[in-house]
């Protein structure tokens, strides 16, 4: 039988006989309180070999085999406590089991981190006829666990063999996002991981009401950092990174409307874009000229997928925002504002001072400030 074993976990004892008639009763005995106690009996096979399966109690346990008048030499195994996991993540609970053959006896679970002394972390009593023990604890660092039964009346104190439990740091994810972004325009968010293996799938998710929608998934590299490009919807967007049960703290970016131009000339068309999660609904493009209040200048409707695209032609500098009136189950919403600089455009032209009748001449017109292509008439 093995020199070491685990209490409550079945181990095998093999007995080989010489000169014993097949069919003879073979008895496995265990030394309990200085007395040999029969615990299992089988008939010897023709192979003259018998196997017993036992779950030893804690400590040094002595066994022997009897077959007729023959008795084997005594063999011992030292049984240590069983633990549910020998490698855990910080915060995970470890269940420690064992058996000590005495019911209703106090038992303590002790823990010893590296470089420190033993301390009791859980208490209980032995249960069942076999003196079963079951205690649990969530270690914060790598260390050893053992079971201790204090002296009780005539019963001597007992301390089990210690079992090492390795504790790994809890995996973490950190999500970095810009405080402000532009709706419909790709924005980079960065995920930094610790304690996760390369190849682990990491996703970036966005909160929509009480649910989370996955925006993208990548496999973690050895650099432990990933970059995702997302096109945020209007307003405050809550994001998180997820890898299995590991989640980052929620981060928020505020997305404002996208303008085709941030500087234009009076009367020039400027597109205003954005996106929302609530599908098709009325949309108001609002404009506040410098020093004045907000006014709706264009009304429209978002697409079935929530896309917004409208055109304005402001004549003075000001700010642009998108307003969604309340409708059906949707509350009203107003986006952040974006500044738009509008200036007058002057046109100067040059041509020759003199020309012959019927001669073609070149007239050069220059617009200032220079902007997008605009029709010109001479």
CA atoms of 133 and 6, how far apart (whole Å): 13
Token output for 268: 């020039």
CATH code, 207:
2.60.40.730
CA atoms of 56 and 78, how far apart (whole Å): 9
Tell me, what's the pLDDT at 106?
92
Q: Per residue in 312-340, is it b (16+ CB within 10 Å) or e — as a string?
A: bebeebbbbbbbbeeeeeeeeeebbbbeb
Residue 197 shares a structural domain with residue 251: yes
Residue 109, domain extent: 82-168
Phi and psi torsions of 256, nearest 5°: -105, 165
| Rg of the chain (C-alpha set) | 40
- Within-domain flag for 104: yes
- Within-domain flag for 55: yes
- Within-domain flag for 95: yes
Token output for 274: 């954005």
Residue 87 shares a structural domain with residue 164: yes
Tell me, what's the pLDDT at 374?
64
Residue 281 shares a structural domain with residue 229: no
The answer to whether 123 and 111 are in contact (CB under 8 A) is no
CA atoms of 102 and 104, how far apart (whole Å): 7
Count: domains in the chain: 4
Residue 159 shares a structural domain with residue 90: yes
CA neighbor of 273 nearest in space, from 314, 321, 319: 321
- Within-domain flag for 360: no
2-to-38, 83, 168, 204, 284 alpha-carbon distances in Å = 20, 19, 30, 51, 81
Residue 139 shares a structural domain with residue 205: no
Angle at 193 between CA 189 and CA 198, to 5 degrees: 110
Residue 261 shares a structural domain with residue 250: no
- Within-domain flag for 244: yes
Residue 94 shares a structural domain with residue 54: no
Tell me, what's the pLDDT at 359?
84
- Within-domain flag for 320: yes
Tell me, what's the pLDDT at 373?
62
Return the SS3 of 119: strand
Domain edge (last residue) among 168, 193, 226: 168
CATH code, 60:
2.60.40
CA neighbor of 97 nearest in space, from 62, 146, 156: 146
> Whole-model pTM above 0.85?
no
Neighbours of 86 (CB within 10 A): 10
CA atoms of 119 and 145, how far apart (whole Å): 10
pLDDT along the chain (378 residues), means of 10: 90 88 92 91 86 92 91 93 93 93 86 96 87 94 96 88 94 96 96 94 96 97 95 97 96 97 90 96 97 97 97 96 94 96 83 84 78 66
CA neighbor of 14 nearest in space, from 3, 28, 32, 4: 28
Tell me, what's the pLDDT at 155?
83
Residue 64 shares a structural domain with residue 39: yes
The answer to whether 178 and 185 are in contact (CB under 8 A) is no
Q: Per residue in 220-239, is it b (16+ CB within 10 Å) or e — as a string?
A: beeeeebebebebbbbebeb
- Within-domain flag for 356: no
Token output for 67: 């077959």
CA atoms within 13 A on the CB side of 204: 27
Residue 25 shares a structural domain with residue 91: no
Domain edge (last residue) among 210, 228, 255: 255
Residue 99 shares a structural domain with residue 135: yes
Return the SS3 of 173: strand
Residue 144 shares a structural domain with residue 178: no
- Within-domain flag for 220: yes
Return the SS3 of 269: coil
Domain edge (last residue) among 135, 168, 201: 168
Q: What is the largest CA-CA distance in the chain?
A: 143
DSSP code for 283: E
Q: Could you tell me what percentage of the chain is helix, strand and coil, using 3-state DSSP and rounding each to the nearest 5?
A: 0, 55, 45
């Amino acid at each position: 039988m093995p020199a070491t074993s685990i209490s409550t976990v079945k181990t095998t004892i093999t007995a080989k006989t010489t000169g014993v008639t097949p069919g003879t009763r073979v008895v496995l005995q265990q030394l309990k309180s200085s007395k040999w106690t029969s615990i299992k009996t089988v008939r010897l096979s023709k192979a003259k070999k018998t196997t017993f399966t036992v779950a030893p109690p804690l400590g040094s346990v002595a066994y022997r085999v009897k077959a007729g008048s023959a008795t084997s030499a005594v063999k011992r195994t030292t049984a240590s406590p069983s633990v549910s996991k020998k490698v855990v993540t910080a915060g995970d609970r470890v269940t420690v089991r064992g058996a000590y053959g005495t019911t209703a006896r106090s038992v303590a679970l002790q823990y010893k981190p590296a470089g420190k002394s033993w301390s009791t972390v859980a208490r209980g009593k032995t249960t069942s006829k076999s003196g079963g023990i079951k205690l649990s604890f969530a270690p914060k660092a790598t260390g050893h666990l053992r079971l201790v039964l204090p002296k009780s009346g005539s019963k001597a104190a007992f301390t089990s063999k210690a079992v090492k439990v390795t504790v790994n740091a809890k995996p973490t994810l950190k999500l970095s996002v810009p405080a402000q972004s532009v709706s419909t325009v790709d924005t980079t968010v960065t995920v930094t991981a610790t304690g996760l293996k390369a190849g682990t799938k990491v996703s970036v998710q966005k909160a929509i009401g009480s649910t989370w929608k996955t925006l993208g998934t990548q496999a973690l590299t050895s650099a432990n950092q990933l970059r995702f490009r997302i096109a945020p919807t209007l307003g405050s967007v809550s994001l998180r990174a997820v890898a299995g049960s590991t989640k980052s703290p929620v981060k928020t970016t505020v997305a404002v409307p996208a303008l085709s131009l941030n500087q234009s000339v009076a009367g020039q068309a400027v597109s205003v874009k954005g996106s929302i999660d609530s599908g098709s609904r009325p949309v108001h493009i609002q404009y506040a000229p410098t020093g004045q209040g907000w006014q709706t200048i264009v009304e429209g409707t978002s697409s079935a997928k929530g896309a917004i695209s409208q055109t304005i032609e402001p004549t003075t500098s000001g700010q642009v925002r998108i307003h969604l009136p309340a409708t059906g189950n949707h509350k009203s919403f107003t986006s952040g504002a974006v500044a738009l600089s509008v200036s007058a455009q002057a046109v100067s032209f040059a041509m020759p001072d003199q020309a012959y009748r019927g001669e073609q001449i070149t007239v050069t017109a220059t617009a200032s400030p220079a902007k997008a292509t605009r029709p010109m008439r001479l």
